[in-house]
Chain A
């Protein structure tokens, strides 16, 4: 049993376990299909449950139940031993330290999706049908492939600081020195540090926005553009009066999707500053409270809060989708 559970630091053992895990689920799938196929005239619920049962069971045990447990824990003390009512939520909304976290999160959710979407849109529009379109899009697209940890390191290097008088190794400080300024420790000062960390996220998400918006720009019928052009619309007028209204549903999807991703993003702030220098956001503070401060109650409350903030974004998304379907 222990052999099946722990591979230690033996790579061969690890790969073997990996193959066993994959094989196990192939066999599981085979057994399920075999059982479903067995009876001559099986009742429908039997077949239905055979196909969807495994997934539903996992979701129930691994997603629904833990989520309910977290909600319960958010009303308990730091060891989850006694009921404390709304104390954790009160703390999250009154203590200055957490007010900064909430403020940062609000900044993130509002600024990052808008900037990322705008850059993605502008770029998609600018390179649309140009000769270099494929290459140009590839450049902005690529950051989506790498981890947020990797992206954070790339940008941390751009923000690198060496004291004045020493040769700079960070590009941003080098620019400041070239322009005759003093080198800065960018990640120390609030609120600038939060915006600079956000740049990493925007750098990643602009590619997503560009891809989706580019597809919907291409879907605008040519005759609409032709007609607008004959009416004398051109340049920025074309962009604001034809392109934007035509792709509005896609814009809403992109904005809300990025907003939801923003809320859950934890890797970037953790890699850049670990949440120090007043840069923490809810998704990270949840982790820090549980695993650095050992406060299970507060951590649970922050996780629940994260879920609660996502809901209005989704409702907005669904309502906008409905509206655009009605128009169609």
Chain B
């Protein structure tokens, strides 16, 4: 080390931690080179273009969709020849052969109770596992936790048989019940984890004051649990709205949600891209709105170490 350097006062001595992290940020930033940026841009494009293509297609007239690629619209638009309309959406929603409006209603009717019911049941169970001390609690909790790994495929057919025997097959009830059952292990586990994060002193203090478990549940635990409920609620909403398997096996024409109908169109009218593109976006619009407006909670739920599958 040279004397000159040692004598020169360092122009920037890290004083605070924020100063340090900002230096680290600069260091990190200095690493990115043109290749890295190019790669990031390529991935971003690959992940966006397919959706853009179908979205553009959904607004093009049927004849155009059949005769030319969607990318030609940009040239046409510049030449002032581009034609866009909502016609495909009208056809997809209200035309007798597609009738997606009806299935849109079904999607809603299927989804809301299938989100609500498991949440109420799991809330009770999670509280029981977290704050009531009873015999066999740990064993039962581990059992519930372990049930998360059971693939639903293994349960579907006997469950359907049971519904048929009870004479309730083909109703919304079987779909609500099935989704609720399949959601319970994850919901209980997730809500239990959040409940355990509530300081024990808070719960104990309330108990000391003579509050029963029910009062503690409503007055202490529930108000603190809103973010967890939001996180799981979004999970379950997206899961049920986007589900194909349960809806297909348990339902019939009166209960099929959008996913089943749109998947059917993809098979039977695979070449009718004008209807199919509009149909796909009709089925996506609600989950996209929910997702974008509540993304924060969704990410928190993901990071809580849980994914449904």
**Residues of chain A within 8 A of B182, CB atoms compared:** 63
Q: B267 and A62: CB pair below 8 A?
A: no
When chains A and B are docked, how far (Å) is the Cα of A55 from the Cα of B189?
Answer: 12
Q: B133 on the interface (CB 8 Å rule)?
A: yes
Q: B113 and A65: CB pair below 8 A?
A: no
Q: B181 on the interface (CB 8 Å rule)?
A: yes
Q: Mark A277-292, 1 if CB is under 8 A from B, else 0.
A: 0000001001100110
Q: B230 on the interface (CB 8 Å rule)?
A: no
Q: B27 and A306: CB pair below 8 A?
A: no
Q: A189 on the interface (CB 8 Å rule)?
A: no
Which residues of A (235-277) have their CB < 8 Å from a CB of B?
A: 235, 238, 253, 257, 260-261, 263-264, 266-267, 270-271, 274
Q: B147 and A63: CB pair below 8 A?
A: yes
8 Å CB contact of B241 from A5, A17, A147 = A147
Closest B residue to A321 using CB positions: B305
Query: Given the known A-B contacts A5-B168, A267-B263, are A126 and B273 also in contact in the complex, defined by CB atoms under 8 Å?
Result: no
For B151, B170, B180, B182, the residue with the greatest tally of chain A CB atoms inside 10 Å of its CB is B151
Q: Mark A31-58, 1 if CB is under 8 A from B, else 0.
A: 0111011000000110111111011101
Query: Given the known A-B contacts A66-B155, A146-B242, A235-B31, are A15 and B180 also in contact in the complex, defined by CB atoms under 8 Å?
Result: no
Query: Given the known A-B contacts A52-B140, A154-B51, A253-B305, are A9 and B102 also in contact in the complex, defined by CB atoms under 8 Å?
Result: yes
How many interface residues does chain B have, given as a range? Answer: 35 or more
Q: Secondary structure at chain B's binding surface: helix, strand, loop or mixed?
A: helix
CB distance from A38 to the nearest CB of B (A): 10
Which residues of B (121-135) have their CB < 8 Å from a CB of A?
A: 121-125, 127-129, 132-135
CB distance from B239 to the nearest CB of A (A): 10
Q: A126 and B32: CB pair below 8 A?
A: yes
When chains A and B are docked, how far (Å) is the Cα of A69 from the Cα of B149?
Answer: 17
Query: Given the known A-B contacts A69-B158, A264-B152, A267-B263, are A122 and B121 also in contact in the complex, defined by CB atoms under 8 Å?
Result: no
**Residues of chain A within 8 A of B125, CB atoms compared:** 51-52, 54-56
**Residues of chain B within 8 A of A300, CB atoms compared:** 157
**Residues of chain A within 8 A of B177, CB atoms compared:** 62
Q: Mark A183-226, 1 if CB is under 8 A from B, else 0.
A: 00000000000000000000100101001100100000011011
Q: B117 and A270: CB pair below 8 A?
A: no
- Additional A-B contact list (4), CB under 8 Å, known A22-B113, A66-B155: A14-B172, A140-B47, A155-B50, A257-B307
23 contacts between A and B (CB under 8 A): A5-B171, A14-B105, A15-B105, A21-B173, A22-B116, A29-B124, A44-B135, A48-B128, A48-B133, A50-B124, A51-B127, A52-B140, A64-B147, A66-B158, A70-B158, A126-B32, A150-B284, A153-B280, A174-B69, A225-B27, A226-B24, A270-B263, A283-B153
Interface residues, chain B, CB within 8 Å of chain A? Answer: 20-21, 23-25, 27-29, 31-33, 36-37, 39-40, 43-44, 47-51, 53-54, 57, 65-71, 102, 105-106, 108-109, 112-113, 116-117, 120-125, 127-129, 132-135, 137, 140, 144, 147, 149-159, 162, 168, 170-173, 176-178, 180-182, 184-185, 188, 212-214, 217, 238, 241-245, 248-249, 254, 259, 262-263, 266-267, 270, 273, 276-277, 279-281, 283-284, 287-288, 290-292, 295, 299, 302-303, 305, 307, 309
